[in-house]
Structure 1
Amino acid sequence: MTADNDASCVVLVVDDDSDVCETLQTVLEVSGYRVAAAANGREALDALRRGLRPCLILLDLMMPVMNGLEFRAEQRSDPAIAAVPVVVVSGDHHVAEKATEMGLEGLAKPIDIDDLLQLVARFCGPPTEMQ
């Protein structure tokens, strides 16, 4: 991410599956959003603690190093980053229930692109104009 990025329009994708991460990044960038990515919860926390303030975090649940539940607990305990919105994105058949238990919304994989873009627009506003 470059220094001139407006952090308010950055979506942070946290997923250990590089194909999922790249697909989400491509869809969001083509739609006009900026994207940062992390392969696990630890990387995401490190980026947030270095000052990244995305408009939304798309969080996978099952990841090595630090899973989504562990990430969310750490995020909520840190006042500097606790308010950053999070949506759970998971292939777990019970993603809606698990997200609700975490006090979050959930999107099931495979992700419907229209649902994803509506969700991101709700949290981040409309995408920037394509140049």
Structure 2
Amino acid sequence: MSSPPFHLLLVEDELADALLFQDMLSEQDQEITVHHVQNGQEALDYLCEPAPGPRPHLIVLDLNMPIMNGHEFLERVKSLPEVRSIPVLVLSTSEHSSDIHRAYEGQVSGYVVKPGNYQEYMHVLETIRAYWRGLVRLPSLEEVMQGRMGF
């Protein structure tokens, strides 16, 4: 029995990192659709365009990006009632406590430091997939879109 489709918005400026993320994730679960944008502004445009693509179940966010960084994106997205309930997971190379603290103050749902090697990265992505796609229960997209969640 296959799982229902799962839509993920990846906000990552490094194309090589984005491709690696997508390739590794597709090895684990073919039912996850990844939409990739390169910075926070592109992510906001994707989320707020009049006829958006599929609403993501999860946003995976890098912090250090040009144009609009991850912290600026969090500030903007969490102020928009129509999209603020989408969980955001930071996946960053930064281990700085100030980045971690600021991300949680910006209402992220989790903060993961990018691992240094392939095997560790595969394990991290498997854990993310199992948690967000298997263990956690998210509100239905229909309820969120109709404003029944009261967020």
Name the counterpart of 2:47.
48
Kindly report the root-mean-square deviation, in angstroms, between the aligned alpha carbons of the 2 structures: 2.0
Matched, 1:72 2:74: yes
Conservation of the 8 A alpha-carbon contact between 1:57 and 1:86? yes
- 1:19 maps to 16
Letter in 2 for 1:59: L
Q: Which moved more, 1:45-54 or 1:95-104?
A: 95-104
Secondary structure at the counterpart of residue 112 of structure 1:
helix
Superimposed CA distance per residue, residues 80-120 of structure 1 (whole angstroms, 9 cap, x where no aligned partner): 11011101111112254443333321111226322222223
- Could you tell me how far apart the structure 1 residues matched to 2:94 and 2:71 are? 13
Deviations 1:37-74 (A, max 9, x none): 00000111111113341111110001001100111111
Aligned counterparts of 2:95 and 2:44: Cα–Cα separation in 1:
26
Instruction: Determine the C-alpha separation between the residues in 2 that align with 1:99 and 1:43.
Output: 19
Q: Which has the higher contact order (CA 8 A, sep 6+)?
A: 1
Quickly say closer, same or farther: Cα 1:68–1:79, change in 2 above 3 A: same
Structure 2 contact 9–36 (Cα < 8 Å) conserved: yes
Indicate the residue corresponding to 2:37 in structure 1. Answer: 38
Change (3 A) 1:112 1:93: same
Q: TM-score, normalised by structure 2?
A: 0.71
- Asked if structure 2 preserves the Cα contact closer than 8 Å seen for 1:28 and 1:34, the reply is no
Name the counterpart of 1:109: 114
C-alpha distance after superposition, 1:20-51 (max 9, x if no partner): 11100111122222111000001111111133
Q: Which has the larger radius of gyration?
A: 2
Task: Quickly say closer, same or farther: Cα 1:100–1:77, change in 2 above 3 A.
Answer: closer
